[in-house]
């Protein structure tokens, strides 16, 4: 968001005193972000050296189409200090007494550190206000669920300490499970060796990935798409066992048919209280490639 405009309604809603800000990696669908009063700062995707603001100049499906057809190898960049500062100050100018920025895991990006610097500068300009940065230790829609937990608390007029507590509690109740269409992009980016790529491709290995301790980590390996989709659902089922309310999101990187199949399995076996669809963030999709499919969850 190079022209960051805070969506906070604090200037018209006296009950709301905390503005919630996050980044585009959180995958909060645009309509949900508007409804929940969440300000989103875009990361940047670079294609052949040309910058595109995630979700503004470039939609996910366009990126994945170009990766498939043009064989481009994009890179990404976190928001600049100026972008963070502009977003925080916009919220403070709008009347927020406090700002909570829910960041992508600090182990996956330098954005957290830059946001902390911006928060310090913003607070120096507004000494009677508070700007805090929360390391979600998550990414993609699991980060988004942490953001939404904070936004719900903020909408109830809770003070910053309680809003932050709601987000911290949500961090322990969220997660993702996903699989890849191909290991090619991990190999091209140097994240797996050539031998592992060739062997995995030969025997059609589908890794199941999750986030552990703030980093992307393999959960297990299966062979074939059918087993991969069931393994995703099984992983989520194990994590949410005995919990009544399950909020579930399906995420996909230009894989609508697989998404429909996964949706059918997940709805039947997991029976979530809430379910929605979101595109997989291009910021991570540049490393995993098109075809990723997965579930994000938050349980109560």
Superfamily of domain covering 18-43+78-171: Dihydroxyacetone kinase; domain 1 (3.40.50.10440)
Strands 98-103 and 18-23: parallel
Asked which of 68-82, 159-173, 205-219, 225-239 is least confident by mean pLDDT, the reply is 205-219
CA distances from 247 to 175, 184, 239, 272 (A): 11, 32, 13, 6
Whether the Cβ atoms of residue 176 and residue 233 lie closer than 8 Å to each other: no
Give strand pairing partners of 52: 45
pTM, two decimals, is: 0.91
Higher pLDDT, 235 or 215: 235
Higher pLDDT, 13 or 183: 183
Residue labelled with tokens 């946001």: 115
Residue labelled with tokens 């500068």: 121
Tokens of 285: 């999709």
Ordered by start, the domain boundaries in the chain are 18-43+78-171, 174-299
Tokens of 22: 């996050």
- Per CATH, is 174-299 categorized as 3.40.50.300? no
* H or E segment to which residue 31 belongs: helix 30-35
């Amino acid at each position: 968001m190079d022209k960051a405009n805070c969506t906070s309604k604090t200037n018209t809603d006296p009950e709301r005193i905390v503005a919630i800000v996050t980044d585009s990696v959180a995958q909060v669908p645009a309509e949900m972000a508007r409804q929940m009063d969440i300000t989103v700062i875009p990361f940047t995707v670079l294609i052949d050296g040309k910058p595109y603001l995630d979700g503004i100049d470039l939609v996910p499906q366009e990126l994945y189409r170009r990766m498939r057809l043009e064989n481009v190898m994009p890179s990404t960049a976190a928001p600049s200090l100026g972008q963070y500062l502009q977003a925080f100050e916009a919220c403070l100018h709008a009347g927020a007494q406090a700002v909570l920025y829910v960041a992508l895991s600090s182990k996956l990006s330098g954005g957290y550190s830059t946001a902390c610097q911006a928060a310090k500068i913003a607070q120096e300009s507004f000494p009677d206000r508070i700007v805090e940065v929360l390391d979600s230790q998550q990414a993609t829609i699991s980060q988004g669920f942490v953001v939404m937990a904070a936004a719900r608390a903020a909408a109830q007029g809770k003070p910053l300490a309680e809003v932050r507590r709601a987000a911290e509690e949500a961090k322990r109740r969220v997660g993702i499970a996903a699989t890849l269409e191909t290991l090619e992009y991990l190999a091209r980016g140097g994240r797996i060796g050539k031998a592992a790529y060739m062997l995995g491709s030969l025997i059609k290995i589908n890794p199941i990935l999750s986030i552990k301790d703030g980093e992307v980590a393999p959960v297990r390996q299966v062979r074939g798409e059918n087993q991969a989709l069931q393994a995703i659902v099984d992983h989520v089922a194990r994590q949410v066992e005995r919990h009544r309310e399950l909020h579930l999101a399906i995420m996909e990187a230009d894989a609508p048919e697989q998404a429909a199949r996964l949706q059918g399995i997940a709805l039947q076996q997991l029976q979530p209280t809430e379910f929605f669809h979101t595109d997989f963030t291009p910021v991570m999709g540049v490393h995993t490639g098109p075809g990723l499919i997965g579930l994000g969850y938050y349980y109560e």
